[in-house]
Amino acid sequence: MADSFSGMRILVTGGAGFIGSHITAALAEAGHDTVVLDAQPPPERSAAGAGSARWIRCDVRDEQGVGEALHGVDAVCHQAAMVGLTADFGDAPDYVGTNDLGTAVLLAAMARAGVRDLVLAGSMVVYGEGRYTCGEHGDVRPGPRRPAELDAGRFEPPCPVCGATLEPGLVGEDAPADPRSVYAATKLAQEHLAAAWARATGGRAVSLRYHNVYGPGMPRDTPYAGVASFFRSALARGDAPAVFEDGRQRRDFVHVRDVAGANVAALEAVADREDGTLRAYNAGSGTPHTVGEMAEALARAYGGPHPRTTGQYRLGDVRHITASSARLADELGWRAGVGFAEGMAEFAAAPLRDAPPPVR
């Protein structure tokens, strides 16, 4: 980390949240001054170091509050969002309002304040299905999975040309976007808004496309959390983790401290980006595991009960999505440092926190 960037003042939106609190702590440890803006109050047990931040409690859609939070700020780390797969399409206005209108309000306030550096919490969900290769037709893009196929237990997407079995691989940042849920659509819209802001203002933006983030401080028992939180919450209740489909879905599970480190690296490097541009980076461990493997590792570390495979599915879920994080390593020098077994063992013993009510 370059010494020339020490001592920045950075606004972290959503800094009371799971990932945001870890980022705030990592920035403080790196010698930066942090301002946290969040609709929720600071958690009673935030990540170490987060308590030294200046806190502003307001919604990211509050133009006046956001404008005040930007006073004297050098860069923004935008984490505030409604996350996860929608429980019902009726949630769509809340997702669009929080994620896209909130981002637009923030970017407009940054333009007025002359703040030109942004790191955005992106997501791997913008890709839809991951990268697939057919032995005969090479790289292909399977279409959305159909309920009739899923009901029959046929979970693997076939080659859209010949119907053959496909081999999943690592997806790179230049893969076409194909959002397949409301949440995914809002995350892609955030990137488009940030790119438009950068072009209009000469700003510099980085989008870190998080893969499956897990670790201490995840919210418990909420339909909007990731699968790691579902499994950990079940274990805490004494229930067997319920693994959907056949458990062979491939994901990239990345520890929250690694994601926080990626944000620090991006914030310290964003000023070196070309003016008027947005650059996307996958932020994953680079080592795929199946959902079933993750449930097994977590249950084993926790001491049981053993996971159960249900065959159930969520229509908005994709089958396989795993990252290549080579660009982030090559350009910013970041690499994940927490191994899968180590991270799951820690997560099994780490406390969860109560989920805050969703912002409306």
Give the 3-state secondary structure of 285-300: CCCCEEHHHHHHHHHH
**Active-site residue flag, 313:** no
User: Which of the four pLDDT bands, split at 50, 70 and 90, describes residue 292?
Assistant: very high
**What ranges do the domains of the chain cover?**
9-130+171-349
Set 95, 127, 183, 313: catalytic member: 183
User: Which of the four pLDDT bands, split at 50, 70 and 90, describes residue 345?
Assistant: very high
User: Which of the four pLDDT bands, split at 50, 70 and 90, describes residue 52?
Assistant: low
- Amino acid found at 165: T
Start-to-end Cα distance in the chain = 38
The residues facing 208 across adjacent strands are 121, 281
Kindly tell me if the per-residue pLDDT of 15 is higher than 50: yes
Return the pLDDT at 210. 97
Of all residues in the chain, the percent with pLDDT exceeding 90 is: 82
> The CATH number of 9-130+171-349 is which of 3.30.460.10, 1.10.1040.10, 3.30.110.40, 3.40.50.720?
3.40.50.720
Residue at token pair 């780390």: 77
The two structure tokens encoding residue 73: 């700020």
Average pLDDT taken over every residue of the chain: 91
User: Which of the four pLDDT bands, split at 50, 70 and 90, describes residue 2?
Assistant: very low
CB 242 within 8 A of CB 310: yes
pLDDT tens column, 126-151? 999 989 999 999 999 998 889 999 99
pLDDT tens column, 87-98? 678 889 999 999
pLDDT tens column, 27-51? 999 999 999 999 988 766 444 444 5
CB 210 within 8 A of CB 254: yes
CB 130 within 8 A of CB 321: yes
Kindly tell me if the per-residue pLDDT of 6 is higher than 80: no
Specify the higher pLDDT residue, 342 or 90: 342
Rounded Cα gap, residues 188 and 246, in angstroms = 29
Specify the higher pLDDT residue, 353 or 228: 228
pLDDT tens column, 172-181? 999 999 998 8
Return the pLDDT at 358. 53
Return the pLDDT at 83. 87
User: Which of the four pLDDT bands, split at 50, 70 and 90, describes residue 76?
Assistant: very high
Among 256, 202, 241, which Cα is nearest to 48's?
256
User: Which of the four pLDDT bands, split at 50, 70 and 90, describes residue 66?
Assistant: very high
